[in-house]
Chain A
Amino acid sequence: MSSRPLLQVRGVTRRYGPRVGCREVSFELWPGEVLGVVGESGSGKTTLLKCLSAQLVPDAGAIVYDTRDDGPRDIFALSEPRRRLLARTDWGIVHQHPVEGLRMGVSAGANVGERLMAVGARHYGRIRGQALDWLGRVEIPRDRIDDLPRTFSGGMLQRLQIARNLVSRPRLVFMDEPTGSLDVSVQARLLDLLRGLVAELGLSVIVVTHDLAVARLLAHRLMVMRGGAVVEHGLTDQVLDDPQHPYTQLLVASILHP
């Protein structure tokens, strides 16, 4: 494990007028670590994720990312081109609804190849080769490479979105309810695939979910959010098996066990 965190978050606050999106959130994320952010809708977890991934500018606080070239840098102090480049290459964003993260009008292969082309790949054969490789890794049949995403099932779309993000070998991936739009039967397959890829690629992941079972399977650590603030954080199994905060206890006690 590297000697310094990949992401340092300090006092991040974001308001929407008088309403608080997230408040005074601080944590560190280490290389290879998966952090789960749990809480019910409106708890601020999606606002936090948008701030962390530079889609929203926080009102206060700092988000320091360990860049490949220059070490730790406040992402909002970077020039916009650099921040956009970072988001397109070193980061990945997996949306809950695949249509938000995919180009539905172009083929699966073009979806996967886009990031490569965005950073200058100009050899069609090699771009296609990598797209084929990634489709295989996310368990999409290779002969679907020229098909439009709209012909794919929900699970396949989500796997395609993952391939599209991972092809640029990001170090940090943001996931917003990655299994939220899927049937239970395909959730397991996706989770298993994600677990494998995260371990194999040494990815750091911040995954927002309201599903504690997803959090338990994917995350090393958990942050529990309520009303925009973090009320508890710790090892995933510790938070879920020995919750300390009243709200976490309520959350854990509310799970249905089949």
Chain B
Amino acid sequence: MDPAVTIAGLSKQFTLHVQGGVILPVLSGVALTVAPGECVALHGASGTGKSSLLRLVYGNYRCQAGSIVVRHRGESIDIATATPQKILELRRHTIGYVSQFLRVVPRVPAVEVVAEPGRAFGMSRLEAEHRAERLLSRLRIPERLWHLPPATFSGGEQQRINLARGFVVDFPVLLLDEPTAALDADNRRTVVSLIGEAKARGAAILGIFHDAEVREAVADRLIPMRGLSQAA
């Protein structure tokens, strides 16, 4: 089957103009593919560019060289050169991203935060909220919190809100950045089964899993990351 994500020759460096133009290389010549139904884990010490790679795929970072081709509604889109409009379209329909930290929107209740990607995808309000509520309860967010804004939630609760946001739409591509870092054992197991279900429906998953147990449970392949070089 054609890969859902194909990365080739990808290089990323930061030029810190505020610090006198210091150049900080992060990735160089990265190449990898993720097939539908497959979970690929980026593996390596911190500072090896794992999170940056996910952000590049999501279009959050710009790369200096290479391509990131994502299958989107039968088309191949290179994130590295796509227009902002195209990237936003991919984020609505194709790529889900669970970051480590929830960026909270003031005043918006948790259930709407979670339902929002569903609404953007095109679900009815009812369907999006129904799916949001199901995920919130699977992730053990007490019902009394559903209608409160998550700004004051604990770190673990915020991470679960973030997870629910990532899974509310059946995205063909999922990017997971340490999704279980702040979770207890029960919730880790829920995340493992959510990932399993996503794989079963054919999602291509690229993730960073710090927790060895979770990693072994979900990853089909490991890609070792060693600062600036990487063996495929």
Contacts and interface: CB of A to CB of B under 8 A. Distances in A.
A and B touch in the complex (CB under 8 A): yes
B210 interface: no
17 contacts: A188-B106, A189-B106, A189-B107, A192-B107, A217-B105, A220-B84, A220-B88, A237-B60, A238-B59, A241-B60, A241-B61, A242-B61, A244-B62, A245-B17, A249-B17, A249-B18, A253-B18
A250 B17 contact: yes
What DSSP secondary structure best describes chain A's contact surface? helix
Contacts of A220: 84, 88
Interface in A231-247: 234-235, 237-238, 241-242, 244-246
Given A237-B60, A238-B61, A250-B17, 6 more contacts: A192-B106, A234-B62, A242-B55, A242-B60, A246-B18, A250-B18
Interface string B91-125: 00000000000000111100000000001000000
A241 B99 CA distance: 13
B1 interface: no
B152 interface: no
A242 B85 contact: no
B87 interface: yes
A84 B137 CA distance: 53
Interface centre among B55, B62, B108 (most CB of A within 10 A): B62
Interface of B: 14-18, 55, 59-62, 84-85, 87-89, 105-108, 119
Nearest to B106: A188
A220 to B, nearest CB: 6
Secondary structure of the B contact surface, majority rule: mixed
B61 A195 contact: no
A-B complex: 4 closest residue pairs judged by Cβ atoms: A188-B106, A246-B17, A242-B61, A192-B107
A53 to B, nearest CB: 23
B126 to A, nearest CB: 15
B97 to A, nearest CB: 10
A242 B62 contact: yes
A238 B17 contact: no
Nearest to A217: B105
B17 A234 contact: no
A33 interface: yes
A233 B108 CA distance: 28
Contacts of A245: 17
Contact of B60 (A1, A192, A238): A238
A43 to B, nearest CB: 18
Contacts of B16: 249
B85 A1 contact: yes
A186 B151 CA distance: 16
Contacts of B60: 235, 237-238, 241-242
